A and B are shown apart, each in its own frame.
Chain A
């Protein structure tokens, strides 16, 4: 167990850097947008999904409807299904830890646990990553209450995060049909429906065209 802890800690160091910085960014943005410390903490403990939490700041502060919050959550985090499918057999016999392991399965945690077979390692990595994220959030919320920094433009963190993930997915996938679908349909909806109403039509159009133009070969990869 001690060796596993040591290995888990060392393996999660890159995640620690990322989570502390992005968690702190999230905490700062939450405070500057007028949310309380408790809100930030609740989000990092219970949602525990970076992109959605950042998007949540924009959605909640613009007063988005609960339906569009729900739809956005579903679509932004739909990729988590894939992680679950992929960890299905590895997590099968993990006993009491199982619900927590599934609950805490983020992109970064998945990237580490997917290459192991040790259930103590699964647990340590999941828990450490979760703690880093929460600590980052707490640090960000505190720092923005103590020193006043001019945060104008800090919300670009979210834009940059999405650009980076978008490029990474573009570079690693064989077929960029869905990436282009997303860009084109959303731009079209933005022009047609205007910037306050285009998110829901975009999501509906994207999902239906992906289902409509589903290629047979994609199913069994």
Chain B
């Protein structure tokens, strides 16, 4: 892996994250921009999470059962366990364990 590329990538992610955290403390005097910022920071998260869920599942295809059944079952396990228990860690662990087990032992 190209070390310079990785370091630039990490630097980019760091700077943008830091910038986002500091934005309100720097710019909070301009009312109009503040409104747009406030609006975007309210509606963007759920849209982006929807996008990221799809992004994570992008490698699914129907050429063989291995390429979609484990992901589908693990997604259902994660979602239903969360709907019942509302416990982030529990759902992440059970979903991931399901996926790893299916991939390594059932659809191997």
Contact = CB atoms under 8 A, between A and B. Distances in A.
A84 B21 contact: yes
B50 A102 contact: no
A1 interface: no
Chain B binding site: helix, strand, loop or mixed by DSSP?
helix
A123 to B, nearest CB: 16
B52 A51 contact: yes
Main secondary structure of the interface of A (DSSP, over half): helix
Contacts of A219: 35, 38-39
Contact of B103 (A153, A169, A207, A210): A153
A66 B2 CA distance: 13
A95 interface: no
A182 B47 contact: yes
B95 A163 contact: yes
Contacts of A153: 70, 96, 99-100, 102-104
A170 B49 CA distance: 10
Contacts of B39: 214, 218-219
A164 interface: yes
Contacts of B51: 75, 182-183, 185-186, 202-203, 206
Interface string A15-54: 0011001100000000000110001001100111101110
B51 to A, nearest CB: 4
Nearest to A210: B43
Nearest to B58: A195
Contact of A156 (B17, B44, B96): B96
Interface of B: 1, 5-10, 12-14, 16-18, 20-25, 28, 34-59, 70-71, 74-75, 78-79, 82-83, 86, 88-89, 91-93, 95-96, 99-100, 102-104
20 contacts: A48-B17, A52-B17, A56-B9, A60-B10, A69-B9, A73-B12, A73-B16, A78-B41, A78-B45, A81-B24, A82-B42, A85-B24, A161-B88, A161-B92, A163-B79, A164-B88, A167-B79, A167-B83, A169-B49, A170-B46
Interface of A: 17-18, 21-22, 34-35, 39, 42-43, 46-49, 51-53, 55-56, 59-61, 63-64, 66, 69-70, 73-85, 88, 91, 102-103, 105, 150-154, 156-170, 173, 176-183, 185-187, 190, 195, 198-199, 202-203, 206-207, 210-211, 214, 218-219, 221
